[in-house]
Amino acid sequence: MSATLLEARPLDSDWLGWLKGELAPTRARNIRTAIIVTGAVLCVIISMTLQVPQLATSAYMVFFISKESKLLTTITGVGGVIVLTIGIGATLLLYKFTYGHPELRIPGIAIALFLGMWFSRVLVIGPLGFLLGFVVAVSQSVGEEVPSPELLVRGLLWLWVALAYAIALTVVLNLLFLPDTPQTAAHRPKPKRSEPDGRRLLVADAFTNPAHVRFALKVTFAAMFCYILYSAIDWSGIHTAFITCTFIALESTEATLYKGTLRIVGCVIGGGLALFSIVFLMPHMETIASLVVLVACAAAIAGWVAAGSERISYAGLQLAFAFFYSVFQGYAPDTDLDNVRNRVVGILFGLIVTGLVFQYIWPERASQRNSK
């Protein structure tokens, strides 16, 4: 992924021409965008009608699971549900020992995050290892905000419902409407640098390459620094800093910083759209129909970018993330601007911390990786 992100970027001042090429319409892009918009709208309607919590998370999962082919989407979706189930079960078991005991919960968060980031490097299907550690770490990080164990268990089980139904809906939509094209295989992710074939569970240098452990340690340090800081100053609204540190981390420093730039761009655009919607549109919305139109427009913009190449697709995911998590805070229109401010501040803070850690602690350059 690092090489894909860094290659073919504009080396001169022709950023406008490069951007026009990246945003150029294609038939496949039109179809994928339509599927994403449909999935996001259906998630809003279902969650609003049945009052399923975590509406923003459900809508965002449509972007996260949608891939360029039916096979990749299905594998990601099925694997995601399995890993999600294991992660929720693991965090419930862990809470038997850590609930009400921050001296145990904080080390538990760090260990879960470290293992997840290490697995993301050494497993052939790295994203599934990352998802497992991420689910456990994030669910543990919100424990002190829940007043009772019963509410905590209910919240985690509802989280499973919100994610699982959104994943299933996305897979079904892609299976029904995404066409099979012979060009799809050419755009699949390249094999990992240490992967000799597709029959291995772990990469060849899983236990011999110290870079894997160093990478996991760097991400864990950055995320835990953000978590401890916003907990110490009692500003849990910027918890997106913790999420940012884990989501933008890539194999090399250059790729991580480039992905961080995409996250900033997506955050600014998505936060701007959310701010405009909250100030000028939300006060006049009285029915779900008007909300559906707003979601469809925002999802179309984010989906168009997300359906592009890896050089810009992450900006689309971040645009959707910032918009949904700023606009949806319940089942009624939200006009609280603090939510937009807190999420944007958290994202920017996480970017700064991650950039500094990857720049000065065991920096891993793309040129060094390519020469191995």
With bands split at pLDDT 50, 70 and 90, how would you rate the model's confidence at 8?
A: very low
Here the tokens at position 48 are: 């609003």
Q: Distance between CA 324 and CA 181 in Å, rounded?
A: 31
- Inform me whether the pLDDT recorded for 334 exceeds 70: no
Of the listed ranges 8-12, 69-73, 89-93, 111-115, the least confidently predicted one is 8-12
Here the tokens at position 253 are: 């420093």
- Inform me whether the pLDDT recorded for 7 exceeds 60: no
Of the listed ranges 9-13, 61-65, 173-177, 339-343, the least confidently predicted one is 9-13
Q: Distance between CA 9 and CA 223 in Å, rounded?
A: 29
Would you list the DSSP string of 32-57? HHHHHHHHHHHHHHHHHHHT-S-HHH
Task: Give the contacts of 340 (CB within 8 A, at least 6 positions apart).
Answer: 271, 274, 275, 278, 326
What value does the mean pLDDT take over residues 262-275? 87
Of 216, 35, 3, 213, nearest to 112 by C-alpha is: 216
* Three-state secondary structure call for residue 128: helix
- Rounded to the nearest 10 degrees, what angle do helices 70-98 and 126-141 cross at? 40
- Count of Cβ atoms closer than 10 Å to residue 187 Cβ: 14
Here the tokens at position 51 are: 């009052």
* Three-state secondary structure call for residue 172: helix
Per-residue pLDDT, 142: 80
- Inform me whether the pLDDT recorded for 11 exceeds 70: no
With bands split at pLDDT 50, 70 and 90, how would you rate the model's confidence at 191?
A: very low
Of 113, 78, 121, 77, nearest to 94 by C-alpha is: 113
Residue with tokens 């995911």: 317
What value does the mean pLDDT take over residues 345-358? 86
Give per-residue pLDDT as tens, 74-103. 988 998 899 999 999 999 999 888 888 888
Give the helix ranges, DSSP H, for the chain. Answer: 2-6, 15-22, 27-50, 55-65, 70-98, 102-122, 126-141, 149-177, 210-232, 240-247, 253-276, 288-306, 313-327, 338-360, 366-370
With bands split at pLDDT 50, 70 and 90, how would you rate the model's confidence at 71?
A: very high
What global pTM score does this model have?
0.82
Residue with tokens 């050089």: 311
Residue with tokens 């894909």: 4
Q: Chain-wide mean pLDDT for the chain?
A: 84
Q: Distance between CA 310 and CA 4 in Å, rounded?
A: 7
Read off φ and ψ for residue 24, nearest 5 degrees. -65, 140
Give per-residue pLDDT as tens, 112-169. 999 999 988 888 777 778 888 888 988 888 877 788 888 889 999 999 999 999 999 9
Angle at 19 between CA 14 and CA 20, to 5 degrees: 100
Burial label for 3, CB within 10 Å (0-12, 13-18, 19+), is: middle
Burial label for 92, CB within 10 Å (0-12, 13-18, 19+), is: middle
- Count of Cβ atoms closer than 10 Å to residue 371 Cβ: 7
With bands split at pLDDT 50, 70 and 90, how would you rate the model's confidence at 331?
A: low
Task: Give the contacts of 68 (CB within 8 A, at least 6 positions apart).
Answer: 28, 32, 184, 187, 188
Give per-residue pLDDT as tens, 220-254. 999 999 999 999 998 988 888 998 888 777 655 66
Of 317, 323, 327, 330, nearest to 36 by C-alpha is: 317
Q: Distance between CA 223 and CA 219 in Å, rounded?
A: 6
Q: DSSP assignment, residue 226?
A: H
Question: What does the radius of gyration of the chain's CA atoms come to, in whole angstroms?
Answer: 20
Angle at 57 between CA 55 and CA 185, to 5 degrees: 130
